[in-house]
Amino acid sequence: MQRVNDRAHPAIVLRVLLRQAYDAGSIGRVASHNDPVPNNILFDGERLWLIDWESAYCNDPLVDVAVMLDGMARSPELEDVLLNAWLGRAPDEPLRARLRIVRALTRLYYAGVFLSASAAASPARRDSDLSVPDLGDFEQAINEGRLKPGMPETKHILGKMFLASFLSGTTAPGFDAAV
């Protein structure tokens, strides 16, 4: 276990504490899709198909679960159903603790994905305002056509919403408006 002296920079302390919490109970790496968002899951009436494997590599098994929880399990009850189906039993507290960390990290990852996509489409745009709409207002803007799925502005707002979710621990916005 790595030790940190009392005068260490807060970012270093945070990194060490995060690493220790993440490593506790680590179960190794498995083949992972790494992007099991709703648009990458198809159902033909009989089977589920997971498509778009370009981001696949070995990873923590909780990464795919974290992304699926944020993308499809929009309530604590649905989260429990998904976790129980994945594990074949109810998760214990150490697994839930690691999952909270992995969910935060996947939210940070998707913040970067969406913000990078919006920056690539509009490179001159500068934005230091971290305020974001709440999920209801965002969905209303999509439904009313003020925001359009797949557009750089929508991806920019989604990126900021994922970043806000990472920073606050609140519910992620999901992926429905991404494409």
pLDDT tens, 53-78?
Answer: 999 999 999 999 999 998 888 889 99
Please report the pLDDT score of residue 94 as a whole number.
86
10-29 confidence digits (pLDDT tens): 667 666 766 666 665 567 88
Please report the pLDDT score of residue 4 as a whole number.
55
Please report the pLDDT score of residue 115 as a whole number.
94
Please report the pLDDT score of residue 101 as a whole number.
87
Nearest-angstrom CA–CA distance, 33 and 36: 6
Residues of the chain with pLDDT under 50: none
Please report the pLDDT score of residue 5 as a whole number.
58
Q: Which residues of 128-162 are buried (b: 16+ CB within 10 A; e: fewer)?
A: eeeebbebeebbebbeeeebeeeebebbbbbbbbb
Structure pTM? 0.80
